[in-house]
Amino acid sequence: MVQGGITTLFEAFLKKETLFSDKKALQSSYTPETIPHRDNQIKQMADILATSLRLEKPSNLFIYGKTGTGKTLVAKYTTNKILEISKQKNIPIDVFYLNCKLKKIADTEYRLIAQLARELGRPIPPTGLPTDEVYRLFIDVLDKEKKIVILVLDEIDQLVKKTGDEILYNFTRINEDLKNTQISIIGISNDLVFTDNLDPRVKSSLSEEEVVFPPYNALQIQDILKQRSKIAFKEGMLEEGVIEKCSAYAAREHGDARRALELLRVAGEIAERKGASKVKMKHIDEAEEKIEKDRILDIVITQPKQFQSTLYAILNICLKKNGTIFTGEVYEVYKGVCSRIGLHPLTQRRVSDIIAELDMHGIINAKVISKGRYGRTREISLSIPNSNLPKIKNALEEGLDLS
């Protein structure tokens, strides 16, 4: 019965008229043919990187801009073009792209070098070797033949925040150890003041050139959405004003194009699932809520138990009383939660860090305030919309085996 039902469901799904023609165009990994409103940046980058075609080392380059301003896209686009030309003309250029935020791949010095060495065809064990040994192996394999290597380090600020700036110092000096190969670095950062905290030596050698990506404004986002939706949706599947609304939402949040695209995609999926003939305005509102809920739920489920317990404690206090709550309170309740589920309670120091991390994820709002004579603490409040609360509480209780 249920099984049979599922078969017909799938069949119906296949028969159903779809709104999309090519959904890929709305995904963040998609690289379009042209990138609107980024001509300046592309030209700047191309000018700088062009030196590599004469087998001279291009200047190190630093790219700034907030999330969703097209940094990664432009970087990939220009480096791909360089690669194309170099292949045509037989110029030995290599481009490596690494996202430093990806856990377990490139978020420490060891892993970064190991990953690079692997891409050059030298297998490196995930752990067990001394870091300088890995450096040596990397340089060995890199220096085999004469070529230019362009190294794109995305979200480089994350890497430095975690491991310090020594790694960049090593990188800027790596050319001294190389006889044949020349390596130049493109650093991409979301953090506009990132270089201010760097060692001055690193700073000067790393950001020989800088390219800034300003946020898109609402009109520019509209252009992008129009361009992509032409590919992604079938003709006439978008209601009048849908694109305008999407871009307005995204422009409100510092012009994040990625967000706008996601919003449009999810809205399309919702409309499709509901059997609507067009993507309507209300679907966008639903999409926004769904994205937010999924985001939080995803974080909540994947976090370790200690995080879940802390969040559960915060959630409970918030439900019981209105107004702001403080670290001390949370810690007391947290200890109670731990004893209920038989979890070894952490020290307050650690819980304090966990609260800070929850704040970073945007699940809670935590602001350090001073209550004068009554000490200094964090003022905590939930930043989850009330409509999503029960689901998240359920997910937590499930994760923690609470009844």
Contact footprint for DNA (CB under 7 A): 103-104, 107-111, 125-131, 304, 306, 326-329, 344-350, 352-353, 355-356, 368, 370-378
- Helix or strand holding residue 150 (H, E): strand 148-154
Q: Which is nearer to DNA, 17 or 196 (CB)?
A: 196
CB of 334 to DNA, least distance (A): 12
Whole-number Å distance between alpha carbons of 48 and 26: 30
Whole-number Å distance between alpha carbons of 194 and 172: 17
CB of 195 to DNA, least distance (A): 18
Measured between alpha carbons, how far is residue 212 from residues 49, 136, 256 in Å?
A: 16, 34, 15
Q: Which is nearer to DNA, 104 or 179 (CB)?
A: 104
CB of 307 to DNA, least distance (A): 8
CB of 111 to DNA, least distance (A): 5
Q: Which is nearer to DNA, 30 or 96 (CB)?
A: 96
Report residue 188 as tokens.
């991409």
Give the bridge partners for 370, in sequence order.
376
Whole-number Å distance between alpha carbons of 383 and 364: 5
Q: Which is nearer to DNA, 126 or 336 (CB)?
A: 126
Q: Which is nearer to DNA, 109 or 256 (CB)?
A: 109
CA 59 to chain centre: 26
The contacts of residue 188 (CB under 8 Å, 6+ apart) are: 63, 71, 72, 75, 152, 153, 154, 155, 156
CB of 369 to DNA, least distance (A): 8
Q: Which is nearer to DNA, 372 or 390 (CB)?
A: 372
* Residue carrying the six token digits 């630093």: 62
CB of 192 to DNA, least distance (A): 19
Neighbours of 70 (CB within 10 A): 22
Q: Which is nearer to DNA, 122 or 391 (CB)?
A: 122
Q: Which is nearer to DNA, 100 or 152 (CB)?
A: 100
CB of 299 to DNA, least distance (A): 13
Whole-number Å distance between alpha carbons of 264 and 226: 11
CB of 181 to DNA, least distance (A): 23
CB of 102 to DNA, least distance (A): 11
Q: Which is nearer to DNA, 160 or 266 (CB)?
A: 160
Single-letter residue type at 74: V
Long-range contacts of range 319-325, CB-CB < 8 Å, 24 or more positions apart? Answer: 319/389, 324/379, 324/380, 324/381, 325/379, 325/380, 325/381
CA-CA-CA-CA torsion sign (248, 286, 299, 393)? positive
| DSSP secondary structure letters along 354-386 | HHHHHHHTTSEEEEEEE-GGG-EEEEEEE-S-G
Task: Answer whether 181's CB lies under 8 Å from 143's CB.
Answer: yes
